[in-house]
Amino acid sequence: MAVKIHNNNFKHVGRIIHFHRKKAGLSRIDLAMVAGVGKTVIYDIEHGKETVRINTLLKILNALNITMLLDGPIMENFTESEDAKS
């Protein structure tokens, strides 16, 4: 049951990260250390900041074992195409 993210409900991302961080028993500083980012950006995201950089967000999600996925009607066409090859 993955969670859809779009610009309207972006606050969910902050809630998801907060939820996972607490479940893992980590302070913001702990998570910042593990993820390799500053603590401020975790504060910002948990407070719903939408203008975070994607690589920063991915580091945090990765540290919390959360996966980001992209999907859509013609994604199959892409994965089968040559473009998808590394």
For residues 1 and 48, the answer to whether their CB atoms sit within 8 Å is no
Q: Which two three-digit tokens encode residue 28?
A: 């913001």
Binding mask 52-71 toward DNA (x if CB under 7 A, else -) reads xx--x---------------
Which amino acid makes up residue 61? L
Q: Which two tokens stand for residue 55?
A: 């690589």
How near is the Cβ of 78 to DNA at its closest, in Å? 17
User: Does residue 25 interact with a second copy by CB under 8 A?
Assistant: no
DSSP one-letter code for 81: S
Which of 12, 16, 30, 62 is close enough to bind DNA by CB under 7 A? 30
Q: Which residue number, 1 or 28, has a Cβ lying nearer to DNA?
A: 28
Q: Does residue number 28 form part of the binding site for DNA (CB under 7 A)?
A: yes
Binder of DNA out of 13, 37, 63, 64 (CB under 7 A): 37
CA 16/CA 41 separation, integer angstroms: 15
Q: For residue 23, what are its two tokens? A: 């479940």
**Contacting residues toward DNA, per CB under 7 A:** 27-30, 32, 37-41, 43-44, 46-47, 49, 51-53, 56
